[in-house]
Amino acid sequence: MISVSGIDQDGDVGDDDHAEVAAVSAAMQQAARVILAVDSSKFGRRAPVRLASLADIDALVTDELPDGRLVALLREHGVSIHC
């Protein structure tokens, strides 16, 4: 399970810290499933360091659904959404 600083409208998942992105990226490569846990304030926010795309995420756990465009991208990439 990972958390990030933002998920932008293009489906890029990112964080603010280069070292943290490197560590999380290595963990994601070894993981059988990647679960992203973020609160809704992270939707539509572009973080300075790109970690992954939604294609790399298996499930999203959040407090409320993102807007329609981001929901469409999540579904397009097969990401299960849990509120």
- Work out the average pLDDT over 33-44: 98
Q: What is the mean pLDDT of the chain?
A: 97
Quick: pLDDT tens for 40-72. Answer: 999 999 999 999 999 999 999 999 999 999 999
pLDDT of residue 54: 97
The CA-CA-CA angle for residues 79, 47, 49, to 5°, reads: 95
What ranges do the domains of the chain cover?
6-82
pLDDT of residue 12: 98
